[in-house]
Amino acid sequence: QKEVEQDPGPLSVPEGAIVSLNCTYSNSAFQYFMWYRQYSRKGPELLMYTYSSGNKEDGRFTAQVDKSSKYISLFIRDSQPSDSATYLCAMSPSSGGSYIPTFGRGTSLIVHP
Amino acid sequence: EADIYQTPRYLVIGTGKKITLECSQTMGHDKMYWYQQDPGMELHLIHYSYGVNSTEKGDLSSESTVSRIRTEHFPLTLESARPSHTSQYLCASAVTGMNTEAFFGQGTRLTVV
């Protein structure tokens, strides 16, 4: 079983839709949860991070962590064509000395006008 | 924008050749990582470093080697390239802290023919 599972998609939605992206994980030691966005032929860039359980909101983006279910989500409101990218979830047991992010395979999102 | 640079961006090389992929960061980060990414697949950690003269192998078996003689520089070397090494290689760096973020380079797309 992979440590982090993520549906690769592609997920195609119309502009303005609410997008839900999800990951499940098996390692209960993960405490630090991140979402990265990767445009074609670019390196990933950090979108949001959450430490332990709970919600975090930043503009149109909301990250949720449910540690009891080992399930994390990223919601994108009012999606735009510029949001079209691959979204990777990542997790680490720590945000400090032993920080080694483990990544999912990414979900390809296409927002069409 | 992250100050982490990878060269070359693209490389086509023949089987059996020795190659070095360069990665440099100007942020003074103590941690550096090499990931391998194939289309639609997870980022696989192949090497990481927690500081100068510290290097460790990641979870993906790799025939590559790395060195960390200077904080800012983390080159990856393949002694004898094979077609199975064809992939995208991503370098990242991070600084130890409460909300650690890994910054990625643009990647090197390697093709071994």
DSSP A95: S
Which of B98, B100, B106 has its CB closest to that of A42?
A: B106
Coil, strand, or helix at residue B74? coil
Q: How many CA atoms lie within 13 A of B69 on its CB side?
A: 3
The pLDDT of A26-55, averaged and rounded, is 91
Query: Confidence band (pLDDT; 50, 70, 90) for A95?
Result: low
Let me know if B59 is exposed, middle or buried by CB neighbors in 10 A (0-12, 13-18, 19+): exposed
Pair B92, A102: CB distance under 8 Å: no
Average pLDDT score over chain A: 92
Q: Do B45 and A2 touch (CB under 8 A)?
A: no
At which residue do the structure tokens 């590559």 appear?
A: B64
Q: Say whether residue B101 is in contact with chain A using an 8 A CB cutoff.
A: yes
- Give me the pLDDT at residue A112, please: 96
C-alpha distances in Å from residue A72, one per residue of A29, A77, B110: 14, 17, 33
Measured between CA atoms, how close is B42 to chain A, in angstroms? 4
B106: tokens are 């643009």
pLDDT 10s digits, A15-39:
999 999 999 999 999 988 999 999 9
Which of B40, B42, B48 has its CB closest to that of A100?
A: B48
- Give me the pLDDT at residue B41, please: 85
Q: Say whether residue B88 is in contact with chain A using an 8 A CB cutoff.
A: no
Pair B57, B49: CB distance under 8 Å: no
Q: Which residues contact B101 (CB under 8 A, 6 or more apart)?
A: A34, A46, A49, B94
Rounded mean pLDDT for each run of 10 residues along chain B, 113 residues in total: 88 96 94 92 91 90 90 96 95 79 92 96
- Give me the pLDDT at residue B62, please: 74
If interface means Cβ-Cβ distance under 8 Å, which residues of chain A face chain B? Answer: 2, 4, 8, 32, 34, 36, 41-46, 49, 51, 88, 90, 92, 95-97, 99-106, 108
Search chain A and give the residue with CA nearest B2.
A45
